[in-house]
């Protein structure tokens, strides 16, 4: 791989890479656990944004719930994916968080990172296929709200992952599925991720990984397997050699 514009395809994470919805996820997760944890574990440490980056970011929703609960010594049954949001189960808590997330999106809309949009435009002009690979079950909603849905040939999201029983990030399965559908070689394909779990997934899949530092920190992204780390994807447009 020489640079991002020589790739057979580019696979983007969504939240925190293309759209500023990672901030919305942080708000929704914080609302959930700030209310729930003091009730069930009053002696436990309060939930903070550090927990989001360490325990939740990039993972499937249920896995994020489990990670936070385990970190506080709290056990609840998994339940079922259709559990109501007031159910004290892993899936119930996840569904409660999702209601909060979608309410914010529908009320406030979706902000697209300007530098990311510039890169998408340049890749489209170069004829390089692109896909979105996101653990979120709301990926299509977010892409549609942001006006980006028609930019991507393939969307591999949390809904497809559940339907096809794909392991979530940090397993590489979702990225490998996108590469297979696009008919490209992972070794000649770029993954762009802001979450440590997503960077690890791309690295484990044999992809060339660009980490975007939106709060995880450059050292954590490099340790997870990022080949380079940028603070904004506009850097790859302004100086394509940064993708070398």
Residue 1 has what pLDDT? 39
CA 203, CA 21: separation in Å to the nearest integer? 24
Q: State residue 151 phi and psi, 5-degree precision.
A: -80, -15
**Same domain, yes or no: 77 and 116:** no
The whole domain housing 61 covers 23-108
**Same domain, yes or no: 167 and 219:** yes
**Same domain, yes or no: 38 and 80:** yes
Q: Give the CATH number, domain containing residue 159.
A: 3.40.50.1000
pTM, rounded to two decimals: 0.79
Spell out the per-residue pLDDT of the chain, length 244, in tens. Answer: 347 999 999 999 999 999 988 788 899 999 999 999 999 999 999 999 999 989 998 888 999 999 999 999 999 999 999 999 999 999 999 999 999 999 988 888 889 999 999 999 999 999 999 999 999 888 999 999 999 999 999 999 999 998 999 999 999 999 999 999 999 999 999 999 999 999 999 999 999 999 999 988 999 999 999 999 999 999 999 765 555 5
CB 74 within 8 A of CB 41: yes
**Same domain, yes or no: 36 and 102:** yes
**Same domain, yes or no: 35 and 102:** yes
Nearest to 60 by CA among 154, 162, 142, 152: 162
Widest distance between CA atoms in the chain = 55
Q: Is 77 helix (H, G, I), strand (E, B) or coil?
A: coil
**Same domain, yes or no: 234 and 129:** yes
Tell me the C-alpha to C-alpha distance, in Å, between residue 196 and each of 119, 126, 160, 213, 240: 21, 29, 22, 10, 23
Among candidate residues 57, 91, 108, the one where a domain is terminated: 108
CB 105 within 8 A of CB 24: yes
**Same domain, yes or no: 68 and 100:** yes
**Same domain, yes or no: 115 and 100:** no
**Same domain, yes or no: 193 and 98:** no
Among candidate residues 88, 108, 128, the one where a domain is terminated: 108
Torsion sign (Cα): 189, 191, 196, 198: negative
**Same domain, yes or no: 176 and 130:** yes
**Same domain, yes or no: 135 and 237:** yes
**Same domain, yes or no: 97 and 115:** no
Q: Report, as residue numbers or ranges, the catalytic residues.
A: 13, 15
Number of domains comprising the chain: 2
Angle subtended at Cα 139 by Cα 228 and Cα 177, rounded to the nearest 5 degrees: 65
């Amino acid at each position: 791989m020489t640079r991002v514009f020589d790739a057979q395809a580019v696979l983007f994470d969504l939240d925190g890479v293309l759209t500023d919805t990672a901030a919305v996820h942080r708000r929704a997760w914080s609302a959930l656990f700030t209310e729930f944890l003091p009730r069930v574990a009053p002696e436990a440490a309060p939930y903070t944004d550090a927990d989001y980056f360490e325990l939740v970011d990039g993972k499937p929703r249920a896995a994020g719930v489990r990670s936070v609960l385990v970190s506080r010594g709290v056990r609840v049954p998994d339940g079922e994916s259709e559990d109501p949001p007031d159910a004290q189960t892993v899936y119930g808590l996840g569904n409660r968080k999702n209601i909060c997330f979608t309410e914010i999106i529908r009320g406030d809309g979706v902000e697209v990172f300007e530098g990311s949009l510039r890169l998408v435009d340049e890749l489209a002009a170069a004829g390089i296929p692109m896909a979105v690979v996101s653990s979120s079950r709301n990926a299509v909603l977010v892409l549609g709200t942001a006006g980006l849905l028609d930019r991507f040939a393939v969307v591999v999201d949390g809904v497809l992952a559940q339907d096809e029983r794909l392991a979530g990030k940090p397993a590489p399965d979702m990225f490998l599925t996108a590469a297979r559908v696009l008919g490209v070689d992972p070794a000649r394909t770029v993954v762009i991720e802001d979450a440590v779990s997503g960077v690890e997934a791309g690295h484990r899949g044999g992809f060339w990984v660009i980490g975007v530092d939106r709060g995880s920190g450059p050292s954590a992204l490099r340790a997870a397997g990022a080949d380079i780390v940028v603070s904004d994807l506009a850097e790859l447009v302004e100086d394509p050699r940064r993708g070398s």
